[in-house]
Structure 1
Amino acid sequence: MPPTYSTYLVGGAVRDQLLGRKVIERDWVVVGATPEILLQEGFQPVGQDFPVFIKNGEEYALARTERKSGQGYGGFTFHASPEVTLEEDLIRRDLTINAMALDSDGSVIDPYGGQQDLQQRLLRHVSPAFAEDPLRVLRVARFAARYAELGFQVAPETLALMRQLSSSGELQALTPERSWKEISRALMEPNPEVFIQVLRDCGALAELLPEVDALFGVPQPPAHHPEIDTGVHVLQVLQIAAREQLPLPARWACLLHDLGKGLTPEQDWPKHHGHEQKGIKAVKAVNQRCKAPRDCQDLALLCCEYHTHCHRALELRPQTLIKLFKALDIYRRAERFELFLSVCQADAQGRTGREHSDYPQANYLRGAAQAAREVAIQPLLERGLTGAELGKALEQQRQQALADYKAARN
């Protein structure tokens, strides 16, 4: 006896197929079935909150409706039954371009104008229920970062709803884990700077990352920063990070490296003396609030405190280089040292007109680090040195190696 239910490909797989992009994962909606029917058909249950099943490595969810019942992302009551139609399931989705389906014949089912919005390059909400889920503010900004290169923009009426959500206090109900999932994914999109800009445009940046929002409108010396605005500079640094395909810890560090400039008193503008030290507390606060992974936290703190050391690398004395290398732990964390250099290079190139400028400081520090690493500890041990004496002698020899390196380069 043939099954009485119907399955439809939905969501991102339909959207990306219509855009001619690679489909990463396929999700299905099942209409006209019950959990018992799917279990009999060999589907494996995985959902806790609502009926979701796995078959052949792909996810199948029973068609469902949802109703707002509390605050935040989790504040919804779901109703799944064989009577729920495909259209009822699709209307609860966030954007029209995500609310399309393909039937078994490959025909597009598009009750809410998703194909037209694909053609017009618009990110538009499906229904007013969009405003019930604060996570959608982050999701839309992430989609804007993903599809900016195709010319997509947030529809004005959707941006207005996002502003409404941002001012409602609902964003504060998001758990750090849910927020971080969206932020981290967005930072890895082709245009992460668009994510930050869209959040700012709708007021969400001030709610979620006020330390970053505070950078906009803060001037820097035009001679060093032709773009002047610190917030604009951070967006440009993120652009370079994406261009260079830097990993997540580096992109997170790019976002937070200049937080200290948001703390400079206005009477001191456009100079920002000591912004590196001032920024440490702010970076720690953001790290903690977002519950960023440890590798992201550590690199962001190091880049905040020491990025200007890197920019002045050719002027640094051997003693200062020793302290820098100790802070960066170059002897055990070579990979993190490379990420630090890449963030500093992105910072240098993330300036108007300097996007492709040379950054000799990176190779200079690589060579200096190698010179310090090549100092052998064995001869010192053979001299019977131990403990503090050994540490002091090793540091002296490394300083001499760095002095020799500096002399040879000049």
Structure 2
Amino acid sequence: MTDYRRLRVALLGAGAVGSQVASLLLRHGDELADRAGARLELAGIAVRDVDAPRDVDLPRELFTTDAEMLITGSDIVIELMGGIEPARSHILLGLGSGADVVTANKALLATHGPEIYEAAERVGASVYYEAAAAGAIPIIRPLRDSLAGDRVVRIMGIVNGTTNYILDRMDSEGADFDDVLADAQRLGYAEADPTADVEGYDAAQKAAILASLAFHTTVPLDAVHREGITGVTADMIEEAREAGFVIKLLAVCERLVDGGPESISVRVYPALVPRDHPLGAVHGANNAVFVEAEAAGSLMFYGAGAGGVQTASAVLGDVVSAARRHIAGGTGVGESTRANLPVVSIGHVLTRYQITLEVSDEAGVLATIAGLLSDGGVSVATLVQTVIPAADDTDRESARLIIGTHRATDSALSAAVDRLAASDVVERVVSVLRVEGE
């Protein structure tokens, strides 16, 4: 057996991912040593309660509640606690003591990323976070390293497995949102409080990380436009199907170069995706990230976006990278955010809408609708009309209009929807969805 140099590894957190990381480090130590060029010695696992029940059987002597002591004596710190504090303080302590840091903490990186990267750069350390954006899918390294010499134009990603599971079942079964959400909670895909997933917060954090890497610009979390999927109904899913689309919660990061100074847009919302687009075929709780670059063209990354052992795979890949850096020596690779492009509001984005309305079924309504749209420079690309029969003899018939617009700025399209909602001929704005991937 090769006599490798030993590197002490501190693990913070022993939840679903942390337990799997510890187990794999212990079981595959020889293989990992051969790959890393160093023996990775699990120095300890910091937890709040050493006696808490865990899914994986691990040696009790590894557990400690003294995170600070563990951190300051280690070469590599793996942070899998989640949340902001004490994770932030522990990571800064690790960097300050000369350790490299591996984390899957998307919330922390989306809110305190610049502070953490600057702390690493000051001491020549590195921060690795492949597991923070899309679980087991290798997307951080391609953006940070492989595409560093290219210009990324656009990223569209399904980066939240819970919402994709819900929307996919609604599409395949015609089920209602609440029923599928309840099933997702029973199966463990969704938390008891699913707000972070279904309202798009989780996806927004990942979008901020991906955009920062792709466009070499710090993207604050509050600059990400966010909408969730709680308003998506079975009727909207069916309308999308009839029009050749599927509804997906997308994270969209885009370089804007039309006419003015270069800028970027970062946004999360449910959108209509053509069923024959690669993202349209992502099923279940899987994730996928579709990258468009000037030279490389279109690239697709697909796989499990969550899960203990799957995410542990990405974490251990980062640990091996950190170990190799320790053996090779030299300073860590810092984050490239010097492009400093402005992050603009969603109103600047060119897109197109599909608007579903219920209107009075009478002469002149279509002309009125077209006029309200054209007043803001919005033109109609497609129109489907169906009559809604009157409930009884005293009610008049209504009509449902599904209007597809041509491309316009989001601000112009949004203003047009507001005019429609205020019009006497429109009984109800049923839904408004953006179209992506065409």
Q: Which has the higher contact order (CA 8 A, sep 6+)?
A: 2
Larger-gyration structure (1/2): 1
Which of the two has greater strand per residue?
2
Which of the two has greater helix per residue?
1
Is the pair's TM-score, using the shorter chain for normalization, greater than 0.5?
A: no
